Amino acid sequence: MSAAEDDERASVQVVTPDGRFEPNAAAEEYLPYLERVTDDDQRRFYRDMAVVRRFDAEAGHLQRQGQLALWAGSHGQEAAQVGSGRALRAQDTIFPAYREHAVAKIRGVDLLDVLRLMRGLTNGGWVPEEVGNFHLYTLVIGAQTLHATGYAMGVALDGAPTGDPERDEAVLVYFGDGATSEGETSEAFIWATSFATPQVFFLQNNHWAISVPVSRQSRTPLVDRAAGFGLRATRIDGNDVLASYAVTAKQLDDARAGRGPGFIEAMTYRMGAHTTADDPTRYRGSSELEEWRARDPIARFRTHLEAQSLADDGFFADVDQEAADFAADIRRRVVELGPPDPALIFDTVYTDEHPLMSAQQDWLRAYEAGFGA
């Protein structure tokens, strides 16, 4: 089966690529989760996607202008991220990879902190408990899948679910198609099913692991592979924000209710480079890019909102202005960032006292002082 045929297998889709609200057969069991989506929520989804896309573009510019060491873009993946991010409940915990900027923003991360990471000012950037339990980005591919699983084991150890979805916790972990080849990701699937953890694995299949296509990662549809591990596995149109929302909401509620771990394969596309360090024209053709541009998550949802009379030109103008303001504010604050405190090198390595940390910090201070005022 070719990769293209692969993608055409039944995926949950609610809004068609040309913007018609036409839930397909696979979407049927998830429709009750759309009933709770208000018109305001739909406009919120659009706003989330549009603002983050503008932020992403600004971050790319900042990198090109030497203000960031690196940028890992999210262009094209906004629907997968916003739908799943908005499906989370306040008590849920999220383990991202490193390009889930939309989810970070939804949970309350100041996206300046993401840029502090990419500027080389921190290796973290936020305190998960202060930003909706959104954990730090993990740059080693797939490593966070095990952390999420261990955390979810802890949720289960803390007590059986009460049956109240407003209280029971679930864990969501993001990873990409490249990560599915990492042994640690397979181990996470095994541990999750063995311990029946309250968690959902959210795979953003953006088709490219830097320059290597997903066909080199797997000859089997990844959603089928997940089912082989015993995960409740569903494939969705990852560029459909309503599909992403509804399926994630159901999967999370199933997980929090004690029905075991789930898996979502969101079929999407990385419209830009893997990071600013690579050149996608060396490994993929423009026809593929154009094919996916026609499936753009934001344009599609705008057509839907217009067709359903949920938003007018004034709304879209307002969103554009908010996005522009957001980007300008980020730019202003990034360039004002000062250097990190050298104490960060030593003070944060251990929780308890460690003799080498104090000795080496003292040495560095004396050495620096030796250069005089």
Annotated catalytic residue, options 47, 75, 101, 274: 274
Catalytic residue chosen out of the listed positions 270, 295, 300, 304 = 270
String of contacts with another protein for each residue 354-373, x by CB under 8 A: xxx-----------------
Question: Where are the extended beta strands (E) located within 52-206?
Answer: 93-95, 171-176, 199-205
Contact string 131-150 vs another protein (x = CB under 8 A): ----xx-x-x--x-xxxxxx
Q: What does the angle CA 148 – CA 118 – CA 150 come to, to the nearest 5 degrees?
A: 10
Tell me the helices (H) and strands (E) count for the chain, helix number first.
16, 7
**Is residue 127 near another protein by the rule CB under 8 A?**
yes
Residue with tokens 């990492």, as numbered in its chain: 182
| 152: region left, alpha or beta (phi > 0 left; psi from -120 to 50 alpha) | alpha
Dist CA 26 CA 29 (whole Å): 7
Q: Which is nearer to another protein, 149 or 239 (CB)?
A: 149
CB 145 within 8 A of CB 105: no
Question: Can residue 228 be called a binding residue for another protein (CB under 8 A)?
Answer: no
**Residue 266 — left, alpha, or beta (φ > 0 → left; ψ -120 to 50 → alpha)?**
beta
Question: Which one of residues 14, 106, 172, 188 is an interface residue with another protein (CB under 8 A)?
Answer: 188
Residues in the chain, overall count? 373
What's the rounded Cα separation, in Å, for the pair 49 and 340?
31
**Rounded to 5 degrees, what are φ and ψ at 240?**
-115, 105
CB of 347 to another protein, least distance (A): 6
Nearer to another protein, 317 or 359 (CB): 359
* Segment 310 to 349, residues that bind another protein, using CB under 8 A: 344, 347-349
CB of 205 to another protein, least distance (A): 22
Measured on CA atoms in the order 227, 76, 93, 69, is the torsion positive or negative? positive
Annotated catalytic residue: which of 283, 332, 350, 365?
A: 283
30 labelled catalytic: no
Active-site residue, 207 included? no
Structure letter (DSSP) for residue 354: -
Judge whether 283 counts as a catalytic residue: yes
State in angstroms the smallest separation of the CB of 357 from another protein: 9
Stretch that binds another protein, among 12-20, 104-112, 121-129, 272-280 (CB under 8 A): 121-129
* Total interface residues for another protein by CB under 8 A: 40
Only one of the segments 6-14, 120-128, 217-225, 294-302 lies at the binding site for another protein (rule: CB under 8 A); that segment is 120-128
Q: Where are the beta strands (DSSP E) in 84-243?
A: 93-95, 171-176, 199-205, 208-209, 212-213, 232-237
Question: Residue 351 interacts with another protein (CB under 8 A)?
Answer: yes
The 3-state DSSP class for residue 84 equals helix
User: Which position among 123, 281, 286, 321 is part of the footprint of another protein (CB under 8 A)?
Assistant: 123
260 binds another protein (CB under 8 A): no
Catalytic sites, residue numbers: 270, 274, 283
User: Which residues contact another protein (rule: CB under 8 A)?
Assistant: 122-124, 127-128, 135-136, 138, 140, 143, 145-155, 157-158, 183-184, 187-188, 190-191, 194, 344, 347-352, 354-356
